[in-house]
Amino acid sequence: MRILFLSFYFEPDLCAGSFRNTPLVKKIAEQLPENGEVVVITTKPNRYKSYSVEALSYEARGKIKIHRIDIPTHNSGMKDQIKSFYTYYRNVLRISKKYKFDLVYASSSRLFTAYLGHKISERQDIPYYVDVRDIFVDTMEGLLTNKLIRFVGLPVLKLIESTTFKKATHINLISEGFHSYFREKYTKPTYSFFSNGIDDLFLKPSQEIKKKGEVFKIVYAGNIGEGQGLEKIIPLAAKSLSDQYQFEIYGGGGAENKLKNKIKELQVTNVKINKPVSRDMLLDIYAKADFLFLHLNNFKAFEKVLPSKLFEYGACNIPIIAGVNGFSREFILKNMKNTLVFEPCNHKELVKIILNYDYKKVVRLEFIERFKRSSINSEMAKSIANIEKYL
């Protein structure tokens, strides 16, 4: 059995897609017979312009074959992303012609990766398994503010979405909050709900306890984009809090300048923006943090999502501050102890809950046991390798 595995991001890149798909490929390879093969077609590291690391264009690791496509340098803007994906699209079609596959798997926060999987499944007349990490059309409805682009673009995106998913063999939804959206529209595929999980790397909680009078360090590590809306919350909250609270941000993205401009406008001195760092370095950063921060912009689409960052944070024994609504809020309140939840973009509520919080650290044992990535990936890999049961 030969499986085509499409993911725009893969190791050694730094992002949720890479962290989810890299170990999953290894688990799939373990499930395959001796002559089985997983062919990964991905990109060279490009998630952050400020993070550069070398990666081979082609690697063979036993049953795993990895093709990495060199895409143009970009700043995460819309035009740059379209140009980058077009390069990926053309090269995936070119490389995939060299193989005869039995199954296409596509990891899709980007709708067009899923569409690409659908296209190849049609060409080779094979089953198609798609992992949905984001509802692209739903998100674009919140992000697109230009009326002309909305008028022209949204109908096209909805048509591509319909074409992509209505003929899928199986759809995995990373968040159960997506279920009603998909189930009502696409009745042919079967569904599963394998969520993100916790990597073993993060299962080493810090034991340091905050001493009275010390500066509280609030850490955010991840993308700085429109979806996070950090410029709407961190500068205002930092301005209202005393210098006893320091925000430290590790990452980059398309909205980084908005955040920097807002910090400059408000003359905020207790926010520091750092370049993205490797996951190994994150361990030390998390260990020295007093709070771990997460925020989603106040778009309707984000009420359905479940951020992968929650699982990384949840493995630590450090209190989490989360500005989320909808399914994410429900998930946190049900599964994650010692978490401060507030309304997205509401800096006054954020400041209030921080100042009223009685500081403590709690090991989230039940959460860790339930959401280990190794266990989730093993089950998901079985469902992919045994696709025949969905036919």
- Integer Cα distance of 90 and 264 in angstroms: 42
Domain extents in the chain: 2-197+372-390, 200-370
Candidates 2, 97, 84, 103; CA nearest to 42 is 84
Q: State the pLDDT at residue 22.
A: 93
Is the confidence at residue 284, as pLDDT, over 70? yes
Strand order of the β-sheet with 64-69 is 58-61, 64-69, 37-43, 2-6, 103-108, 128-132, 170-173, 190-192
Q: State the pLDDT at residue 221.
A: 94
pTM: 0.84
115 pLDDT tier (thresholds 50, 70, 90): very high
Class of CATH domain 2-197+372-390: alpha beta
- Integer Cα distance of 49 and 187 in angstroms: 40
Q: State the pLDDT at residue 206.
A: 55
Domains 2-197+372-390 and 200-370 share a fold: yes
205 pLDDT tier (thresholds 50, 70, 90): low
46 pLDDT tier (thresholds 50, 70, 90): confident
Is the confidence at residue 151, as pLDDT, over 70? yes
Q: State the pLDDT at residue 74.
A: 57
Which range (18-22, 202-206, 249-253) has the least confidence?
Answer: 202-206
The tokens of 286 are what? 């998390």
Is the confidence at residue 331, as pLDDT, over 90? yes
**CATH architecture type of domain 200-370:** 3-Layer(aba) Sandwich (3.40)
Q: Which residue has the higher pLDDT, 84 or 256?
A: 256
109 pLDDT tier (thresholds 50, 70, 90): confident
Beta carbons of 43 and 21 less than 8 angstroms apart = no
